[in-house]
Structure formats: C-alpha cells, structure tokens
C-alpha cells in the first residue's frame, strides 16, 4: 500500500510539473501545433470508434481469466505478480478513454498512410488509431505471445480490416518489418517504458521517417528515466518541434523557417484564465 501511495505521489508531482508550464491551444504560436491542439482539445464530437473501443473495454473489465504477466517491457508500476487477470490488465495497462480519444483525433488530423504501433497490449489503442485511418495500413507489435493472441482475437471481432497484429519483441520484429515498408508516416511507441529502449526504437525507425511523419511516445512522465528520454528526443537534430500533451508526446520533423520549439499543452478549460488570443 505504501509503495502504491509513493508511486501515485510521484506521478502527481510530475503532473504538476507539466501543468505549471503548459499553455492552452490559443496561446500556441506555431501554426501546425496550434491547429493540432485545437483539433485534439476543442473538437467535442463523439465518433463511432469510441463506442467500439468502449465496448471492448467493458468486455475486458468483465474477463477475470488469469494470464502470465508480460515478459517484455517495464510492466505495471503497481501490479507485481507472475500472473494477472485480464480485467486488471485492462484497467491498468490498456489506454484510457481520454488518451484513446486523443489518439483517434491525432491520427484523424495527420491522416497517415503507414502506421506502426509498438505495444498492442489488449488492442484498445489499436482500435482508436486504426479507426481514424481506415484507408491506411496499421501494423501493431506485441511482445507477449499470450497477450498478442488475445489482442488478435479482440481485433478480429471488430470491423477494422486495416489492422495487422504482429507478435515478437520490438528488437526482433523491427529489423524484419521495417525494410518491407517504403516509409513510416506515424509511429506510436507504448512499450518498454525506459530510457535506453525508447531511444533505441526511435533510432531504428528514424531512417523511415520523413518530413511529414509524426513519432508519438506514450507515458513520457512514467518515470524520471522516461522524462530524460523524452527530453533527449526533443533535442534530436531531426526533430523540428514537439507537443507534450502529458498523456503522450508528439515529435515532428517538418522543415520550417521557425526555430526549434517545444510546447506543453492543456485544454483551455484547464486554464481558463489563459485562453490567449
């Protein structure tokens, strides 16, 4: 119990760090980031994909079957058992509704054609993202054989035919699939939440990223280690600007005459006294 409270306190302190420096969409002076943040935070429409994803979430939360804990990635900060119930995994590891809807709106705004997700988990995040790019090709990798098989079953039960689930460690699978792709328009990294692997996977994907690509890193406030990784990625010479949305960070590579810039952004209602122009 004490360990869980310590973790929650650390996460809250990191959130405060983010919140203090964050600005609202109307304060952003970069045209692309401003348009993106408005699309993410000011579009209140409910999309069909949200119902599909939440239906899957309800199913997961009612499934109390026990499966082995994942042998890949950093795992849960709270659950430290050899086995885990699917309902607990859905509650602690699956993307939450807010983040999932942000990912949907992000993909909808960017309209990428070739998308790669690293960290399928039970398939919820794949539903949100693939649904926003049904004309694109969505590849998603999961390390755990058990969880990968479950995710494949979940995704096959839905109507999105552009999802290609793959099983294997990122280090093994990336060298196999990347040479078969002409480019990567969008990458979502949500696995192995630690500094060195995060930087390594970024470098593996970098040759396939282009000016219009976006590289998304989940859980950038997961730990001080991940915060360091995010900071280093922001400083990478290929990165021209970035958006920190707390739930995840987005790196951009578009050539621009403006100097490198990094924005931490919250919805306007979170700071109503700073709505900007």
pLDDT tens across 152-174, in order? 999 998 988 999 999 999 999 99
Partners of residue 25 on adjacent β-strands: none
User: The domain containing residue 9 runs over which residues?
Assistant: 2-274
89-105: pLDDT as tens digits? 989 889 999 999 999 99
Q: What CA–CA distance (Å, rounded) separates 80 from 66? A: 14
Q: What CA–CA distance (Å, rounded) separates 218 from 246? A: 9
- 220: its two tokens: 């950038």
pLDDT of the residue at 185: 98
pLDDT, mean of residues 136-161: 93
In CATH, what number is assigned to the domain containing residue 182? 3.40.50.150
Give the closest residue to 109 by CA, choosing from 172, 52, 37: 37
Q: What CA–CA distance (Å, rounded) separates 78 from 1? A: 9
pTM of the shown model: 0.93
Structural domains counted in the chain:
1
pLDDT at residue 71 tops 70 = no
């Amino acid at each position: 119990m004490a360990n869980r409270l310590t973790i929650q306190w650390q996460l809250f302190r990191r959130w405060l760090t983010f919140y203090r420096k964050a600005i609202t969409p109307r304060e952003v002076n970069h045209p692309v980031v401003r348009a993106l943040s408005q699309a993410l935070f000011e579009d209140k429409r409910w999309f069909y994909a949200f119902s599909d994803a939440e239906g899957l979430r309800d199913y997961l939360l009612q499934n109390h079957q026990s499966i082995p804990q994942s042998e890949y990635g950093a795992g849960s900060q709270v659950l430290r058992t050899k086995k885990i119930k699917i309902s607990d995994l859905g509650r602690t590891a699956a993307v939450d509704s807010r983040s999932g809807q942000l990912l949907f709106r992000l993909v909808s705004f960017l309209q990428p054609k070739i998308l790669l997700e690293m960290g399928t988990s039970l398939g919820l995040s794949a539903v949100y993202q693939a649904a926003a790019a049904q004309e694109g090709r969505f590849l998603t990798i999961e390390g755990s054989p058990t969880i990968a098989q479950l995710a494949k079953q979940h995704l096959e039960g839905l109507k999105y035919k552009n999802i290609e689930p793959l099983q294997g460690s990122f280090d093994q699978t990336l060298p196999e699939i990347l040479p078969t792709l002409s480019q990567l328009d969008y990458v979502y990294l949500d696995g192995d939440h630690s500094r060195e692997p995060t930087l390594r996977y970024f470098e593996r994907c970098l040759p396939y990223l282009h000016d219009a690509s976006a590289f998304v890193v989940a859980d950038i406030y997961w730990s001080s280690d991940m915060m360091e990784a995010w900071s280093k990625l922001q400083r990478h010479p290929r990165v021209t600007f970035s958006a920190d949305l707390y739930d995840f960070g987005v790196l951009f590579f578009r050539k621009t005459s403006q100097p490198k810039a990094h924005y931490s952004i919250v919805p306007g209602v979170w700071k109503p006294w700073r709505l900007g122009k």
